[in-house]
Structure 1
Amino acid sequence: MAEEMRKRKSWLDGFMAYPLPAGLSEAAVRHNIVLLDQLLYELWRLGENLVYAWSPSGRGLRVLVAPHTLLTEYVAEAADEAGQWRRAQLLEHLMTRREHLSAAALDTAAQQLGLKPRLIELPFNLDAGLGLPLVAAIVERYGIRLVQDRAVILLDAVGFSLLSPLEQVVQLNALSCSVNAAYAKLLDREININFARTTTGDGFYIWNRMRGIAANVELYQLMQFILADNAIARERAPRKTTVPQLRACFHVGSHYEFHQSEGLNPTSFSYVVGQVTIELARMVERALPGQILVGKFRTQMRDEATGRDVEIDSIEFVERTRAPLQQLGGLTLAGAEIDEISCYLTGPEAPDGAYAISEYEIADKHGQPHRVFNAKVNIHRRDGAPIFLGLRDEDLMGFEARVV
């Protein structure tokens, strides 16, 4: 019972980061969260059903609930029937939305999918009792989301499979420490990344639960500090097998996000699977020890400053990370204050002294091509030796890729 209470408290704490409704105490908000969650849990039926859409309705909300097999049924049969194709497209559209639907839009979606909306009655108004963004986060635990523009990091420990089980555990713990230390560094500058991670067995996928240009830039910053902390820890370790040598890949793309079951409840943290994780896995297969690869992408990202979606590619994205990095000057790494952090994509030097950017194509084990860039990060410290992360062009002789 004590363990269940601890899990419930931890789960609730994750939602308290959202703005609380005016005039409500934290205890009242927690009570309302639990009440809504219990009603959604009953409809969820231990994972048999998913919530595909929702809409506020007076003192409650209406939801579209159906078995999770609805997804595969419509997608598998889409090629055979035009109506199924439209329904498959509608489901994909619903999964890309985090916000609620209007009452009319929910009715239209229900009609097209052949579903009947279910009413969840509550003793409070949604806006006043929780706030719609918080309601969306609670409902999200009982569905699947399709995200098109989220950045994800893959950190991979070199030679991990050759280690003993005890050494593997020690290395994963050392990598977790570097992740936590990097996160603490950014918190010092009030950069509060709402990051999540899942293990790959010999490393981690890491992503920012928030979306948009700023959120993705912050994740790139987190990657740099993780690699820096890892490099320092490895340099100081009495035995090199206690701290992993890493290769790192960064990419932006689409994926599905879902909450697995823990016991009889959906987890408070999400998992990602989709094109971006597949691309990262293929990239890391070819990455050299110590190398940093950035996948080639061009996608729409939300610019929080303007509220508009902006098309950004890999090269422009890395350029956008430079200015925020300058704001991190003054932080300390291993007791030495940071003077400057520079990050860039590598390439050959031109006659005028400028540097071009090389684009590489790698082939995975299935022969499929993937485009990537080689990245470098240089951290200069006032009273300490500089930290150089990534590989230079002249260090890429063993990199199995062709220059495009």
Structure 2
Amino acid sequence: MNPERPQRKSWLDGFMAYPLPAGVSEAEVRRHIVLLDQALYERWCLGQNLLYAWTPSEQGLAVLVAPHTLLTEFVQGAGDAAEKDRRAALLEGLLAHQEHLEAAEFERIAAELGLQPQPIALPFAPARGLGLPLVAAIVERYGIRLVEDRAVILLDAVGFSLLTPLEQVVQLGSLSCSVNAAYAKLLDREININFARTTTGDGFYIWNRRRGIAANVELYQLMQFILADNALARERAARPSAVPLLRACFHVGSHYEFYQSEGLNPTSFSYLVGQVTIELARMIERALPGQILLGKFRTMMREQQPGAAPALIDSVAFVERTREPLQKLNGLALGGSAIDEIACYLTGRRGEAGDEFGISEFELTDKHGLAHRVYNAKINIHRRDGEPIYLGLREDDLGAFPARVVEA
């Protein structure tokens, strides 16, 4: 076996990116994961129930488990509009909470929801045998979470519906290869993105399971290398229909994350539904072939440093944040030639002085008459011994883009 080749992973390996607790071996952590997962599985009842909250103890966990219908019944059971709003806010806050609840808060939520806490006995203390962040990741498979600050990519194959079924299969296979190749490239620089994806039929939604500014920047890097690998594959392809012409959208926004049932188990990969996927779908409808769109967002994101306060980041500041990490990718081989520089920016018109460019903000209208704000993104990859790879469209190429400039 070639030790340099990326190794395939099982569902357990997906949890091994978390730091090992002090004094606990990897083999012990794997055993503890299986024990906790089996206990949660028994209460999940083949997808009938969801796990709404948990709190740790020395002997295991206490959990709140109820049918998924509680999500709507709890709110609809309110006596008036004010109470309905209060309950909806409480439920959203609970679903947005990514970690455990302290014991007192856990008891309060149990009383609010009218649920009896269920104990889960374990032969180890969760904090010492797994670490509470890892426990939270395992518990997530059996619940629903509201996420506000995660970036998502949408890749779409242009003209996909006009292809024969066999050509569609070939194009999706090519796109999957580009995703895997991009992931392997980033692994070469120890950028281990814990990414997930779901198909849209003619493309993919892709996101980083980890959250925060650094995780979102890594996802932007992944998108760049996916598009670059796709562009090189199109150059090498003997038949144009073998490799898709892509358009891409990147956005940060709120969504619900959940795990469907697959056979008798929850899937090892999650699904997203919510505002961010809706925005991306509307953006991709209007994107031109080869275009890269960045949605307009302004949201709190967690910093990489432990204990650091979240930062308020908008689309323009986010692209600025991606530039310094890109320098670490210089020298990486792409298409047989080392990368000298990767330049990513949002396009705009040249200023009156002629030496600077602004940033154009566009407004597009979807099929429902709703407006969405976006930016046009460009990525230029300069290679030492190869031709540059230009991704995205220039401002001058947007004549057919069905959007109006609202700010420059």
The TM-score, its normalising length taken from structure 1, stands at 0.95
Which deviates further from its counterpart, 166-175 or 38-47?
38-47
Q: Distance in 2 between matches of 1:304 and 1:266?
A: 30
The Cα of 1:78 is off from its aligned counterpart by: 5.5
Q: Distance in 2 between matches of 1:131 and 1:212?
A: 20
* Residue in 2 that maps onto 1:275: 275
SS of residue paired to 2:352: coil
Q: Distance in 2 between matches of 1:102 and 1:276?
A: 30
Q: Distance in 1 between matches of 2:201 and 2:103?
A: 44
- Pairing of 1:236-247 with structure 2 (within 5 A): 236-247=236-247
SS of residue paired to 2:63: strand
Q: Distance in 2 between matches of 1:254 and 1:164?
A: 36
Q: Distance in 2 between matches of 1:86 and 1:112?
A: 11
- Pairing of 1:172-211 with structure 2 (within 5 A): 172-211=172-211
* Residue in 2 that maps onto 1:360: 362
Give the fraction of aligned pairs with identical amino acids, expressed as a percent. Answer: 74
The amino acid across from 1:174 in the alignment is: S
Q: Distance in 1 between matches of 2:69 and 2:119?
A: 22
- Pairing of 1:278-293 with structure 2 (within 5 A): 278-293=278-293
Is 1:315 matched with 2:325?
Answer: no
The TM-score, its normalising length taken from structure 2, stands at 0.94
Contact 1:250 1:293 (C-alpha < 8 Å) held by counterparts? yes
SS of residue paired to 1:10: coil
Deviation above 4 Å: which 4+ runs of structure 1?
76-79
* Residue in 1 that maps onto 2:31: 31
The amino acid across from 2:337 in the alignment is: A
Which deviates further from its counterpart, 87-96 or 275-284?
87-96
Where does the alignment leave 5 or more consecutive residues of structure 1 unmatched?
1-8
Which of 377, 381, 384 in structure 2 is aligned with 1:382? 384
Q: Distance in 2 between matches of 1:75 and 1:314?
A: 34
Contact 1:99 1:136 (C-alpha < 8 Å) held by counterparts? yes
The amino acid across from 2:90 in the alignment is: L
SS of residue paired to 1:214: helix
Which deviates further from its counterpart, 305-314 or 61-70?
305-314
Q: Distance in 1 between matches of 2:399 and 2:115?
A: 58
- Pairing of 1:209-220 with structure 2 (within 5 A): 209-220=209-220
Q: Distance in 2 between matches of 1:203 and 1:307?
A: 36
The Cα of 1:128 is off from its aligned counterpart by: 2.1
Contact 2:293 2:375 (C-alpha < 8 Å) held by counterparts? yes
Contact 1:252 1:295 (C-alpha < 8 Å) held by counterparts? yes
Q: Distance in 1 between matches of 2:337 and 2:40?
A: 51
* Residue in 1 that maps onto 2:325: 324
Q: Distance in 1 between matches of 2:79 and 2:180?
A: 47
The Cα of 1:308 is off from its aligned counterpart by: 1.1
The amino acid across from 2:334 in the alignment is: L
RMSD of equivalent CA atoms = 1.4
- Pairing of 1:337-376 with structure 2 (within 5 A): 337-352=338-353, 353-376=355-378
The Cα of 1:57 is off from its aligned counterpart by: 1.9
Q: Distance in 1 between matches of 2:166 and 2:398?
A: 32
Q: Distance in 1 between matches of 2:382 and 2:403?
A: 30
Q: Distance in 1 between matches of 2:82 and 2:398?
A: 50
